[in-house]
Copies of this chain bind each other. A is one copy, B any other.
Amino acid sequence: MIDNTLEEIELAVTQSWQAFQTYSKKSLQERAAFMKAIAVELALNEEALVSTAMQETNLPQARLKNELGRTIFQLNSYADACVKGDWLEIRIDTAVAERNPPKPDIRKMLVPLGPVVVFGASNFPFAYSTAGGDTATAFAAGCTVIVKAHPAHAKTSEIAAAAIFQAAAKTNMPHGIFTHIHGASVEVGKTLVTHSLIKAVGFTGSYGGGKQLFDWANQRKEPIPVFAEMGSINPVFLLQEKLNQSAIDIAKMYAASITLGVGQFCTNPGLIIAIQSNALNNFINCLAEEIKKIAPATMLHQGIANAYAEKKTKALQQKNVTTVAESVAQPAQNQGQPTIATVDAKTFLENKILHEEVFGPYSLIVQCNNEDEMLTIAQHIEGQLTSTLMATENDIIKNNQLIEAVKNLCGRIIINSVPTGVEVCYAMQHGGPFPATTDSRFTSVGADAIKRFARPLSFQNWNDNLLPDELKNNNPLNIWRMVNNEWTKDSANR
């Protein structure tokens, strides 16, 4: 695909801003109808989307069908959440005329920020890309969207964009509500993020890419929020009683999680921390046997495969790092070879290279001498999307300090399961302390993600008939609202 010119981008942003003036005033129902129409169009284009994505990403058909289904589910469920209106965080404090001084009537709701730029992910051509979660939640918030297509699946992106254009036409949305930009060069991204009419950015990708966008956005005359998801090694802590009881089961479960989708998930468990023991040896031996059996598979594209090989080689070359197991089958070109390595805790703590994500089917087992070393690791790992505890109740109760440290470093803490698999639901937090994401206060999955693209606006002393429907006395949209400190769907009597 040919990069859009800077003139084309300027025009696109201006049209997006103009469309925002119209779209931001559309009712919640109208926004939802548009989003659901996108879901319909995506479903109609399933064959073209999946076959094109198979060519561009090497991902298998079943996985892509599943991801497209998830993308459609996101659009529909976020559309429902948009109408339900909980994300609006409505607060109504009615006037108290007899107070001295009189208390004014004040009503607050979230309003959309403005045009949003979305940079999709290489590893999710549907769910985190053109018509993915960032785009869907921005539309729900009332924002217009400019997507910069990921160069690794630009044709798939074109088809998804066409579905959005179709849906916009069918639901009478303003021209400019959605724009699809191609740009392999850094200049395109920079132009978009630094444009004064762009008001927020969504990104899923590497630390380098996300941090660059964050810096550009903060160096603007008017800084804007950047929601960048930038990678995570998702530490797994094996606590002793659990390990003693279930070393083999845990090993089998994790062999599958580490190699799921050739390890190409942001929640892939790249770090396993445990204390030296016979049970740990059993775990390692079993994990090694499992990993040896798993066949290498083709990665998303050559760049990803090369990066995996390089990062893995670099990690394995570090002092005191030992390879525990590799798949017996050797990888063909662009395939990722499942690999497990191990290192002692002291070396791990001293060598930050070992804290870096190796994006692919790889995990590093850190062997601690005692609980103190495990705690120290939990206190010194950078921010993560997830952390997992494999633990009995006794383990949890006995390791209070560790559990607190682990909570502190992540956005989602899992017990006795695997971090892969990100459920699309309200309770999901997909986001974590820096550098996992640039803003740990927001999630990119689940309907709360809508709130990333909105800000509160208070209306003081407005007549009921002039207020937005969301804030009117008789609650015509039937939204849960906090009225005079209490949650209700009832009318807010002045």
Contacts and interface: CB of A to CB of B under 8 A. Distances in A.
A93 B426 contact: yes
A429 B407 CA distance: 31
A416 interface: yes
B91 A427 contact: yes
Interface residues of A, number: 76
A36 interface: no
A401 B462 CA distance: 17
B462 A415 contact: yes
Given A438-B223, A460-B415, A480-B487, A423 B103 contact: yes
B480 A108 contact: no
A84 B91 CA distance: 15
Given A416-B461, A440-B455, A458-B412, A107 B222 contact: no
B222 A434 contact: yes
A189 interface: no
A415 B218 contact: no
A429 B107 CA distance: 9
A465 B393 contact: yes
Interface string A13-44: 00000000100110000000000000000000
A92 interface: yes
Contact of A25 (B404, B462, B466): B404
A103 B416 CA distance: 14
B448 A456 contact: yes
Copies in the complex: 2
Nearest to A467: B415
Nearest to A407: B457
Contacts of A480: 487
B487 A411 contact: no
Given A426-B108, A482-B86, A466 B412 contact: no
A442 B455 CA distance: 7
Contact of A104 (B423, B459, B460): B423
A242 to B, nearest CB: 13
18 contacts: A84-B485, A91-B448, A106-B412, A108-B428, A215-B218, A218-B218, A223-B434, A223-B438, A393-B465, A396-B466, A412-B458, A413-B459, A416-B461, A417-B461, A431-B456, A440-B455, A441-B451, A442-B456
